[in-house]
Structure 1
Amino acid sequence: MKFCFSFLLFMSIATTLLGQSSIKGRVKDEKTGQPIQGVHVFVNGTQLGALTDINGFYKIDGIRLTEFRLIFSFVGYESKAFDIENFKGLITVDAALKESARFLGSVEVNAKKNRRRERYLQGFREFLYGENYEPSLIEIENEYMLDFKGRGGKKFVVEGEPVLDIINSHLGYKIYFQLTEFEYGKNYLYHGYSQFIEMESKSETQKEEWLKNRSRAYLGSMRHFFKSLIEDRIQQEGYEASMTVYNADFESNDNWLRQTKNSIALAPRNRPVESVDKRDIEKDSKENYIIYLVSEGLYEIDFEDILEVSFLGKQDSKTSQKSQIKLKEPLFVYQNGVVKNPGAIALMGFWSKRGIYDLLPTDYVPVN
């Protein structure tokens, strides 16, 4: 079992539905004031986005969200992110991008083949893609953009903010992914921004296979579990959940997630997972509750120990998929299971081993 401290990406977006609305604007170079053509402007984690035209203008239609993060990304420039709240209609968001000093000359250096780089690439792929991926079904088209720096032993980081073009033929998405942080070895974490672009299938058979794979990726996912928890349908959706206790006696340093399997004692407690959608319940009096309604469509999840989740619902799974969640701070989740503040989560078990290979856009709509 690999324990990783991972800020889960692509999930910080609200999905409260509205009448369709649009965002438009213009992108310029911060220093020269000249328009920039070809900038990716997108709603983080979704399929919504556009490229700026020759005059730097863009427009994104079909937005049905109240809160989201709008990303401006272009190779050779520092990315910009704007948190949009209470979105109710057409608005204008302009951006001035600053040229990245780290980009110049990096491609030539990164393209050199050597054993150390290949070792870093292998570790990078395994962590980013997740375990049990099929190498023939996923690839980064421009791996030469990755600039690795060793930290001793097997530890390494990725420097800069490379823009990666990922082809996921397992789920049928091309992912435009701007990596903002990656660490492997001491901690296991990565941050980034992503836009999903649906690939065109070559046949009806391939299209049907993608739809089946997407459904399989959704069932048993953390998003599926949180949605089930909010709707009080844990058992009906194939889950078992209970609170467990971390035994601090096994801790040898301040980062318990770095320890081996024996470093964490999971002692079952007779404490059922319950949900409450009554706003008048005080936090201090909800001893047996881990979730309650904060505002329309937004829930807070909070607990001190470890939440252990087992998924038994997959027909093709011979054993249960077990995951554990530890919170650094209260977690906020939207009604469809999408997490607002993924940095609050530390994962262990099955969910910690999943990566981009099984990642769906946050505007993916499950098929019943």
Structure 2
Amino acid sequence: MCLILTRHFICNLQFIAFLLLFAITQTFAQQSTSVTLTGKVTDEKTGKPLPFANVFINNSSIGTNADENGNYKLPDLSIGNIEIAVSFLGYETIKQTLRFEQPGLKTVLFKLKEGMELQGVTVYARKNKKREKHLKIITRELLGNSQFSKQCRIVNPEVLRISEDDDGHLGAQTTKPLIIENNALGYRIHQDLDDFDYFNGKVYYGGSTRFELLAPKDSLQKKSWRLNQKIAYQGSLKHLLASMVADSLQEQGFKVYQVIPDSLRMFKSVRSVNGVNTLANHLHNRIEAIRGMRLIQPGELITERLVISRTQLEIFNTKKRGRSPYSDMPYAYSQITFPQGYMIITPQGWVSMPMGFEIAGELANDRFSTLLPADWKRDN
């Protein structure tokens, strides 16, 4: 009887040891899928460290500050492609795309150039009517006209250097990051505006974007921010791409159509009925409905998905009324074109390699009042 109990006790110990080993193995496996990025930020000419430089993943809230010796550390990054941006006051912000195919510790050194004087721009020493007029246009175009726009403000407009060309193009750049406070979504956005061009009602702007989380004053404001973030997510590009990956376009309110190549069309032209252009006339002739699963393929890594389409996509958000080219589809309408035939995203809809994709229509109207960081996560 005693011997049987001893064997039973030993078996239990072996089983417990197995469970512990399994747990350790699983934990190690989970940890091993991430990347820790370390390195140093220095002056390109002198090699001197740039203390407290900002090192961050572009368009996200993931970032850190270097220490007093210019050393930085970014842990828990996913394998795959990331665009790192590095900024320091008085220096040109740099961006670099990195690809990590294996987990572990990676080291990248960044060397920054001192900032150059902006060329060909009109600098206003003091406030005047012309600058104020231009500033209103720039503010409107950056913040947008969404339901959240009035809760956003540009904190430091004085860093904008504004120019107007003879042909009527309104341009702007920043001497240091433009700070935008979005009190609707709970973010402070630091935007290095490399270029801004406004002409004939159309705007183009580019640069590096760093999101900083604001501290809510109470639990009520925290809930309000989260609710507004969910509203901003609905119908966004991130929402669309995540729905493609999950093959849930229709359930999420999207209808996606793919342009049929000329060689496969039934007819060479589309005829309107009684002068009315409808989607029904174009189906099986110029465009066809397509499911998300037909657009998505696995990438080289488990963190990647390929969105593949050799022809243009036409997208409708059926949960939002809007203008479209078709009288029978009065919903928010967008077009997406892939010059390279594809782009690379994460399963959550984060565009990691855009490959120069072009977007027009409703989805191209995102501004800072509704913009979410790429790493924003919806509730499971």
Q: TM-score range by the shorter chain?
A: 0.7 to 0.9
- For 2:342, the equivalent position in structure 1 comes to 331
Q: Is contact 1:170–1:210 with CA below 8 Å preserved after alignment?
A: yes
Do the aligned partners of 1:293 and 1:300 also contact (CA within 8 Å) in 2? no
Higher mean displacement: 38-47 or 145-154: 145-154
- Residue 292 (structure 1) shift: 3.6
**Cα pair 2:159 2:175 within 8 Å, conserved:** no
182, 193, 203: which is aligned to 2:218? Answer: 203
| 1:221 positional shift | 0.7
Residue matched to 1:299: 306
Distance between the aligned counterparts of 2:37 and 2:52, measured in 1? 17
Native 8 Å contact 2:149 2:369 kept in 1: no
TM-score (norm 2): 0.74
Residue 159 of structure 1, CA deviation: 3.7
Tell me how far 1:62 sits from its aligned partner. Answer: 2.9
Change (3 A) 1:265 1:83: farther
| 1:312 counterpart = 2:321 | no
Which whole-Å CA distance do the structure 1 matches of 2:251 and 2:283 have between them? Answer: 22
Preserved contact between residue 242 and residue 268 of structure 1 (Cα < 8 Å): no
Question: Given the two structures, how large is their TM-score scaled by the length of structure 1?
Answer: 0.77
Structure 2 residue 152 is the aligned partner of structure 1 residue 129: no
Deviation at 1:300, TM superposition (A): 3.1
Instruction: Provide structure 2 residue ranges, at least 5 long, that are not aligned to the other structure.
Output: 1-29, 261-276, 322-329
Pair 1:101-2:106 in alignment:
no
**Aligned counterpart, 2:126:** 112
Q: Which moved more, 1:77-86 or 1:55-64?
A: 55-64
Structure-2 residue corresponding to 1:226: 241
> Which residue does 1:272 correspond to in 2?
289
* d(CA) in 2 for partners of 1:214, 1:359: 9
Match of 1:138 among 130, 152, 156: 152
Q: Secondary structure at the match of 1:356?
A: coil
Residues 1:366 and 2:378 are matched in the alignment: yes
1:87-137 Cα distance to aligned partner (Å, 9 max, x none): 522222221211012169x9x944521222222222212222223254541
CA contact (8 A) 1:43 1:71 kept: yes
Structure 1 233/184 Cα, relative in aligned 2: closer, same or farther at 3 Å? Answer: same
SS at 2:306's partner residue? strand
Q: Which position in structure 2 is the counterpart of 1:58? A: 72
Asked if structure 2 preserves the Cα contact closer than 8 Å seen for 1:226 and 1:333, the reply is no
**1:156 and 2:170 aligned:** yes
Q: Letter of the aligned partner of 1:78 in structure 2?
A: E
Alpha carbons 1:303, 1:327 under 8 Å: kept: yes
SS in 1 for 2:171: strand
Counterpart-to-counterpart distance in 2, 1:292 and 1:170: 36
Query: 3-state SS of the aligned residue for 2:95?
Result: strand
1:24-47 deviation per Cα after TM superposition (whole angstroms, max 9, x unaligned): 222121222222123111111222
| Aligned CA distance change for structure 1 residues 359 and 94 (closer, same or farther; 3 Å) | same
Distance 1:195 1:144 in 2: 19
What 5-or-longer segments of structure 1 have no aligned partner?
1-15, 246-263, 277-288
Q: Residue 349 in 1 paired to residue 355 in 2?
A: no
Matched, 1:340 2:352: yes
Q: Could you say which residue in structure 2 is the equivalent of 1:321?
A: 332
Give me the CA root mean square deviation.
3.1
Q: Hey, what's the Cα distance between the residues in 2 that align with 1:68 and 1:148?
A: 31
Cα deviation, residue 313, structure 1:
4.0
Contact 1:27–1:96, Cα closer than 8 Å, also in 2: yes
Deviation string, structure 1 residues 318-358 (Cα, Å, up to 9, x no partner): x8432222343323132222223446333332212221111
CA contact (8 A) 1:23 1:92 kept: yes
For residues 352 and 321 of structure 1, the distance between their equivalents in structure 2, rounded to whole angstroms, comes to 11
Q: What amino acid does structure 2 have at the position aligned with 1:359?
A: L
Q: Which of 1 and 2 has higher RCO (CA within 8 Å, sep 6+)?
A: 1
Q: How far apart, in 2, do the equivalents of 1:358 and 1:25 lie?
A: 33
Q: CA deviation at 1:161?
A: 6.0
Match of 2:10 in 1: none
* SS of residue paired to 1:337: coil
The CA distance in 2 between the partners of 1:155 and 1:17, in whole Å, is 50
Tell me which of 37, 56, 64 is aligned to 1:42.
56
Shift of the alpha carbon at 1:75? Answer: 2.4
Q: Which has the larger radius of gyration?
A: 2
The whole-number CA distance in structure 2 between the counterparts of 1:274 and 1:82 is 34
Cα distance in 2 between the residues matched to 1:201 and 1:159: 31
Distance 1:174 1:209, change over 3 A: same
User: 1:199 deviation in Å?
Assistant: 0.8
Q: Relative to 1, partners in 2 of residues 1:39 and 1:309: Cα closer, same or farther, differing over 3 Å?
A: same
Which structure features the higher share of helix residues?
Answer: 2
Aligned-residue sequence identity (percent) comes to 27
Separation in 1, partners of 2:244, 2:31:
20
Contact 1:17 1:65 in 2 (8 A): no
The answer for the alignment partner of 2:106 in structure 1 is 91
